[in-house]
Amino acid sequence: MKIKFVIFLVFFSLSSCVRNLDNPVDPESSAYEPPSVTILQPEEGDTLTTNAVLVLWEGNNPRANEFRYRLIDYSNWTEWVTYNSVLFDYLDDVSYRFEIEVRYKSQSDIKKFVRNFSVDAIKGPTLKFYKLRNVVGIDSQFTVGVWVEDVSQLKRSKFKIDFDSVKLSLLSVDRGAYPSERGVEQTIAFNPSTREINTEFSRGISGSGEIIKLKFRGRDKGVSYLEMNGIEITDENGEIINPQAERALVEIK
């Protein structure tokens, strides 16, 4: 009886140590398949007409896959996660590179995949903020540009800046680079009590670029939105346009 029991223990121990040679997530298995991911949307090279973009992907083995990702110049690498989508909002009208890494849970074999896309959401003639999303620290100073977008012979502009004064302080209002790059002189009048900005150019300017540079300081943790209200754009013929502008987000950490 003892001999049978010993044989059983030996057999059980050996069988428990034998690897499953048909396991596709075991690197030492002959059936091993490296981790991979398919980015379902957006497609490579897409130009999207919205500033909120949903990125959707699918792993080759959903029960075993883990992912981490980042959007260059927007977010840092995440922790390892198991979900398969993310929404990026407050995207500027620029080109983006999305990077995602995939592995099997707690394993060291990591593969990287990339998707490039562009955003072209804001149509002119109008004004816009750049950047639309800003993450800053308390007491840190940062700048947000006010850009013209697809204007023709812009001669003057007027607008009011609104934000949460508990969260932010506006330190200065300066000229942007776009007019001077075109040899155009610019004057700025800023009323601190109403936060109204008036700017005028020596001659009409066309196209897209930064005309105002706003410097802020983060005062308190939380979220504040930057908004331009009461916008008036006047061209050289005196025609006035009253467009709406996308608001910008400031997160103070």
Model confidence pLDDT, tens digit, residues 26-40: 888 888 999 999 999
Is the confidence at residue 110, as pLDDT, over 90? yes
Cβ atoms of 83 and 72 closer than 8 Å: no
What is the rounded CA–CA span in Å between residue 161 and residue 172? Answer: 12
3-state secondary structure (DSSP) of residue 198:
strand
User: Could you tell me the pLDDT band of residue 19, with boundaries at 50, 70 and 90?
Assistant: low
Kind of pairing, strands 37-41 and 53-59? antiparallel
User: Which one-letter amino acid corresponds to residue 202?
Assistant: S
Q: What six digits make up the tokens of 215?
A: 């410097």
Please tell me the distance from the alpha carbon of residue 241 to that of residue 232, in angstroms, as a whole number.
Answer: 6
The pLDDT value recorded for residue 20 is: 57
Query: Is the model's pLDDT at 136 over the cut of 50?
Result: yes
**pLDDT above 70 for 145:** yes
Q: Say yes or no: do domains 23-119 and 126-252 share a fold.
A: yes
pTM: 0.85
148, 73 contact by CB (below 8 A): no
CATH 3.90.1300.10 given to domain 23-119: no
What residue ranges do the domains of the chain occupy?
Answer: 23-119, 126-252
Provide the terminal-to-terminal Cα distance of the chain, rounded to the nearest Å: 71
3-state secondary structure of 3: helix
What share of the chain has pLDDT > 70, as a percent?
92
What are the phi and psi torsion angles at 13 (to 5°)? Answer: -65, -45
Task: Measure the CA–CA gap between 212 and 16, rounded to whole angstroms.
Answer: 70
Class of domain 126-252: mainly beta
Distance CA(59)–CA(40), nearest Å, equals: 10
